[in-house]
Amino acid sequence: MSDTNTESESAAGSGTLRTPIVAVLGHVDHGKTTLLDRIRGSAVQEGEAGAITQHIGATAVPLSTISEMAGSLVDPTDFDLPGLLFIDTPGHHSFSTLRSRGGALADIAVLVVDVNDGFQPQTEEAIDILKRTGTPFVVAANKVDTTPGWNPQQGQPIQKSLEQQSDRAENRLNENLYELIGDLSGKGFSADFYWRVQDFQSNIGVVPVSAMTGEGIPDLLTVLMGLSQRFMKEEMAVDVAGPGVGTVLEVKDERGFGATLDVVLYDGVVREGDTIVVGGRDDPIVTEVRALLQPRPNAEIRTEKRFERVDEVRAAAGVKIAAPDLDEAMSGAPVRVVRGDDVDAVKAEVRKELARIEVDTAEDGVVVKADTLGSLEAMANALEEAEVPILRAEVGDVAPRDVTVAQTANEEKHRVILGFNVDVLSDAEAALDRTGVKLFDDDVIYQLVEEYEEYVDEMERAQQETVLDKITKPARFRILQDHTFRQNDPAVVGVEVVSGTVQNNRPVAKFEGSEPERVGTLSGIQHQGDDVDKAQAGERVSVAIDGPTVGRQIEEGDELWIELPEKHAKILEQELASEIRADEIEALKAYLEKRRKTDPFWGK
């Protein structure tokens, strides 16, 4: 077996300082992966085989290599930190997954923004997460090389590159950058070009870069090292020999090992044979480390299938842990090494960490499934902001029992499952078809919430239309002079609709004071000789009224009303006012005003 990796040795050599952990966030297609690949590729080009160390889920770039890449921008004698550890899976999804003691695991973040596109929905979502976790960050204003008229300067610091640009190209870039600075200001952040920032604790540094040409990459690494050295040195102090503490990035089946944990270790050391406690679906899992696995040197982590075993791994590092009984372990859950006989105490610590991310649930609401604890928490926060209650929230794929739970929701709009980045088990698909429970699934949180909100809006509109069809609408109409066509059985008269909608087969009333007196029922409406179901304000029609006789119960010139049931009046006023026309509201208000003269609470 080989010993620990280069980065771990660097950390050990520094005494007590571990490598800062860097996460990369941003909107889809803004260049997060390309930026990471550029940093890795440049590191390999600049140094020997040991220039970078590939971890599980992370890449360590040592200080010496950063100094080579950054050139005169970084003097290695100014730094005590061993380098930077970049999380390999970019995006705020992985950022949310990676947690430590209830907060973000990443010490610092890079927010990648396409300098041409500016802020997009996922940019805003990423900023909200950074703000909520209090994680310091810098902005990588990417794709400067796409500025019209740009003259690429491969791998150069951005200010040197700007010296080689035309005034026109530089002005165009500056316009985009100032717009980006304005967007940050709109989110409550003071920002400027990084070389103008005096206090990085109260201002955000914007670093213009190109992931394609490498321009500005030296600057980005310099800012990340400078921020870490100046403001996080104390946080990087770890007990290098203490019990390891980390977070599960992913649970994976590996041939020959069964279920394994991809872990980012941020404190202490983990050794083969150690007892560990890891967060499980029902209860913390206690197990023993059978093997610690790292990718072979220079292997691409996302395609690497062969590993080498190491005796121990020190923070900060990514490592694959093989151990028994890991099937119920959860992505995003804490992992802690047990030293001595304090298993119960460590289990209590793990339970305490898990309790911090328990989702508040309601008696009625939607079912939420997510791939990790971190994304489950992010989903819960997004739904809380959208005022969507949660009935149950769990990590894992959609299973038949989730469908059963969703089916028990009281309101139809809550009989849904929102799945973030999860699969649907085949028997769950059958249950969905059988029960009619609606599934929404997406790998972008804001899109998932938006899809559900649109579904609810559409459902509520359909329900309102159904209710509106069944409800009696208010109407006031007047019998025209010299327009009596038949006196009774039924009385047929010409009328003008003053306000509201006159509908067929509705009771007709005449007000005597504030009390309506029913005079009959509308049994027919004709407009220009054609039978119609309704007539609206401003129209003149002839109507047949069963019950009254013209000259006795009703007279030419009388004002008549469609009689409103009290329950209908209440629904119209309190729930459907936005769904009916202005003249119908006018008729409703006039009707209520008359009724409430003797009974102030009528229809309330």
Rounded to the nearest integer, the mean pLDDT of the chain is 87
Residue 542 confidence (pLDDT) above 60: yes
> Is residue 284 within 8 Å of 347, Cβ to Cβ?
yes
Domain 475-595 class? mainly beta
Longest dimension (CA), the chain: 110
Quick one: how far is CA 329 from the chain centroid? 24
Residue 482: the pLDDT is 94
pLDDT: which is higher, 569 or 576: 569
Instruction: Encode 471-502: b = buried (16+ Cβ within 10 Å), e = exposed.
Output: bbbbbbbebeeeebeeebebbbbbbebbbbbb
Sign of CA dihedral 230, 234, 239, 244: negative
DSSP 257: T
**Start-end of H helices in 59-155:** 63-70, 92-97, 121-133
Distance from C-alpha of 482 to C-alpha of 554, rounded to nearest angstrom = 13
**CATH superfamily ID and name for 245-355:** Translation factors (2.40.30.10)
DSSP 601: T
Please state the rounded mean pLDDT for residues 204-233. 93
Closest alpha carbon to 139 in 97, 94, 192: 192
In the chain, the N- to C-terminal Cα span, in Å, equals 80
> Is residue 50 within 8 Å of 64, Cβ to Cβ?
no
User: Is residue 72 very low, low, confident or very high in pLDDT (cuts 50, 70, 90)?
Assistant: confident
According to the 3-state scheme, what is the secondary structure of 369-400?
EECCHHHHHHHHHHHHHCCCCEEEEEECCECH
Q: What amino acid is encoded at 165 in this protein?
A: Q
DSSP 411: S
Residue 301: the pLDDT is 42
> Is residue 83 within 8 Å of 337, Cβ to Cβ?
no
Matching residue, tokens 């406690």: 277
If 0-12 CB within 10 Å is exposed, 13-18 middle and 19+ buried, where does residue 300 land?
exposed
According to the 3-state scheme, what is the secondary structure of 502-553?
EECCCEEEEEECCEEEEEEEEEEEEECCEECCEEECCCEEEEEEECCCECCC
Distance from C-alpha of 545 to C-alpha of 290, rounded to nearest angstrom = 90
Cα-based angle 234, 236, 237 (whole degrees, multiple of 5) = 70
pLDDT digits (tens, 9 = 90+) for 84-93: 999 877 766 6
Residue 358: the pLDDT is 67
Q: Do domains 19-231 and 366-465 have the same CATH topology?
A: yes
Give the C-alpha distances (Å, rounded to integers) separating 229 from 17, 107, 233, 237, 588. 10, 12, 5, 11, 70
Closest alpha carbon to 588 in 467, 468, 474, 471: 474
pLDDT digits (tens, 9 = 90+) for 119-162: 988 888 889 888 888 889 999 999 999 999 999 999 999 999 99
According to the 3-state scheme, what is the secondary structure of 298-359?
CCCCCCCCCEEEECEEECCEEEEEECCCCCCECCCCEEEEECCCCHHHHHHHHHHHHHHCCC
Residue 200: the pLDDT is 87
Matching residue, tokens 């209710």: 467
Distance from C-alpha of 197 to C-alpha of 178, rounded to nearest angstrom = 14
- The CATH number assigned to the domain with range 19-231 reads 3.40.50.300
Bridge partners of 245, per DSSP, are 267, 336
Cα-based angle 455, 459, 464 (whole degrees, multiple of 5) = 150
> Is residue 275 within 8 Å of 288, Cβ to Cβ?
yes
**Domain 366-465: which topology?**
Rossmann fold (3.40.50)
Residue 233: the pLDDT is 80
CB hemisphere CA count around 32 (13 angstroms): 25
pLDDT digits (tens, 9 = 90+) for 361-414: 888 999 999 988 878 888 888 899 899 999 999 888 999 999 999 999 999 999
Structure tokens at 461: 């509109």
How much is the pTM?
A: 0.68
**Start-end of H helices in 398-444:** 400-407, 426-435
Beta strands 108-114; 137-142: pairing state: parallel
Q: Own/partner pairs for 283-289, CB < 8 Å, 24+ apart?
A: 284/347, 284/350, 284/351, 284/354, 285/325, 285/326, 285/328, 285/329, 286/338, 286/343, 286/347, 287/323, 287/324, 287/325, 287/326, 288/323, 288/324, 289/321, 289/322, 289/323
